[in-house]
Structure 1
Amino acid sequence: MTTHTPQASTSNGIDAAVQHPYRYQRRYSGRLQAVIFDWAGTLVDFGSFAPTQVLVDAFAAYGFQISLTEARVPMGMAKRDHIRAITRIPAVEQRWLAQFGSSATEAQIDHIYESFMPMQISQVAQYSAPIPGALETLQALRERHIKIGSCSGYPRQVMNTLLPHASQAGITVDCAVAADDLAAGARPGPWMALQNVIALGITDVAACVKVDDTVPGIAEGLNAGMWTVGLVLSGNEAGFSLAEFEAADASLKDKKRQYAGQLLAQAGARYLIDSVAQLLPVLDDIQLRMQRGERP
């Protein structure tokens, strides 16, 4: 019987690569290839009122009252999941138990979702004016030959209404993925962001930036291996309407900025800015970091 004695690993052989797996780690150092945006609170609908107000209305149609603040808590999730998550907020669940005698069932969640859908489809356009600076930012990305992706917690039926309305206002993207497009699911998983990578022909996820105003949207970008930028004043967490934002004094804006910024930073946002209007300098900084071999 013969025996085999393992040979010492060589400095440039396969055994050495196994022994030191991180020595050969590849780092992307090319140009920024794509920015992937959320929709409500990011490109359109300052304050993200289309989904939140309609959710309040859908619950009211079922005979149950929730506040706009409660509607905002799970923002960024697919809308049926969003409705379920609202019913699991402790204060909401207590009121639900008192009114109905048990926690919300899947059948009740389905009923509210079925009420929500036609309301959302009919009302999404009226809430979805471009956020100031969005048009200019998208134009600058095109001039830089950076592809423009997008994804949303909206289902496809709602996106089919929103997209032509947004296009008439000048907001167009190269790819738009809806929350129910993929069998794998939606946020906080990476799948919608990664579908943009596939559709846009991106060669490395580290060449992408995910821009979002919600905690699940930031998690989506991180889970997809992308740079992440959180929007603190134009979106859901601050909850300003555009008129409220323009009328607010510096103290109130700072208070909202701190609150929303803390939530998004804890979620893992690499950068925090007030709105999409401030995005271009961030992209310049990310490009420099990529050229140094840094990763998200």
Structure 2
Amino acid sequence: MNAITATEIQMIDAQTVDLSPLQAVIFDWAGTLVDFGSLAPTQIFVEAFATFGIHITLEQARGPMGLSKWDHIHQLLQDPSIAAQWLSTFGKEPSSTDVDAIYARFMPMQIAKVGEFSAPIDGAIQVLQWLRANGLKVGSCSGYPREVLNQLLPQAAKAGIAPDHVIAGDELAAGGRPGPYMALANVLALGIGDVRACVKVDDTVPGIEEGLNAGMWTIGLSLSGNEVGYSKEEYAKASAAEVDARVSAAEAKLKKSGAHYVVRSIADLPPVLSDISGRMRRGEMPSA
């Protein structure tokens, strides 16, 4: 297993570099800061649909990850095989009212379970400390509704993950991903003077698109996130060839979405951020 080592963590802690003119890094939550493999939302989608007699696979559940949870459910119901099951079971095409019903079933299940998946991803605590030591602000946003984040945030904070600002997927009237609104809400709350001096870090395509639509640099995370989808136990048991194949597929998908960089996990961010800051000092901007 290629988890970050104690020596590597010490190296992150020890590094002090010039990250100007960068001002902030804005993180997703599940699969990015906490919950290696982004397991919390995925399994609950499967279980919530099952209460309606509808079978969906983990792979199907992962498909729209990164969207707000209502939008995620709506997107799942557009899947031809899921829509066909709904029609067979209920005698009608799924509607927005049905999305509301599944969402209402999903929410208490997610609230009850999310705390079990609040463990920081290896290196996350150290990278956040490193960012602050080097003068950057730390924002965050999530497809999770505020009710779910209210359960997750205190437990994550106890473990050492506490961004300067947090936006939930249901808090903005303008909507969520792939729109730029949550990322830009962080810019306003953190007092950032230039969106081009921000980096959005995410493990999903909608999250990368969010950052691009906001005019930010973007970094995709492959191994730790939704696209690979290993639990830590599965990752420990997987062969190197299997891991490489799944990571390569995730990298290709994230790069196709427009990510400026793709790395395996948050532990790999310091050299990438140093590279971005160097490019900015040479006059490069994310839109280029």
Fold in common (TM above 0.5) = yes
CA positional deviation for 1:97: 2.4
Structure 1 unaligned segments of length 5 or more: list them: 1-28
**Percent of aligned pairs with the same residue?**
58
**TM-score, normalised via structure 2 length:** 0.91
**2:92 corresponds to which residue?**
102
The reply on whether 1:68 has 2:68 as its aligned counterpart is no
**2:276 corresponds to which residue?**
286
**TM-score, normalised via structure 1 length:** 0.89
Q: Secondary structure of the residue that 1:198 maps to in structure 2? A: helix
Candidates 82, 91, 96, aligned match of 2:81: 91
CA positional deviation for 1:261: 0.9
56-65 vs 66-75, which deviates more? 56-65
Structure 2 unaligned segments of length 5 or more: list them: 1-18
Count of residue pairs the alignment pairs up: 268
Candidates 198, 202, 205, aligned match of 1:208: 198
The reply on whether 1:255 has 2:245 as its aligned counterpart is yes
CA distance in structure 1 between the partners assigned to 2:76 and 2:224 by the alignment: 22
**2:186 corresponds to which residue?**
196
117-126 vs 97-106, which deviates more? 97-106
The reply on whether 1:233 has 2:220 as its aligned counterpart is no
The reply on whether 1:115 has 2:105 as its aligned counterpart is yes
Task: Give the superposed CA RMSD.
Answer: 1.1
CA positional deviation for 1:258: 1.2
Candidates 129, 146, 149, aligned match of 2:136: 146
The reply on whether 1:124 has 2:117 as its aligned counterpart is no
- Per-residue CA deviations over 1:246-287 (Å, capped at 9, x if unaligned) read 222210111011111111111111101000010111000000
**Aligned partner letter, 1:274:** R
**Where does structure 1 differ by over 3 angstroms across 4 or more consecutive aligned residues?**
none
Q: Secondary structure of the residue that 1:32 maps to in structure 2? A: coil
Candidates 254, 274, 286, aligned match of 1:264: 254
- Per-residue CA deviations over 1:127-178 (Å, capped at 9, x if unaligned) read 1211111111111111101100000000111111111010011111000000
Q: Which has the larger radius of gyration?
A: 1
**2:208 corresponds to which residue?**
218
8 Å contact kept, 2:172–2:182: yes
8 Å contact kept, 2:54–2:82: no
CA distance in structure 2 between the partners assigned to 1:96 and 1:44 by the alignment: 33
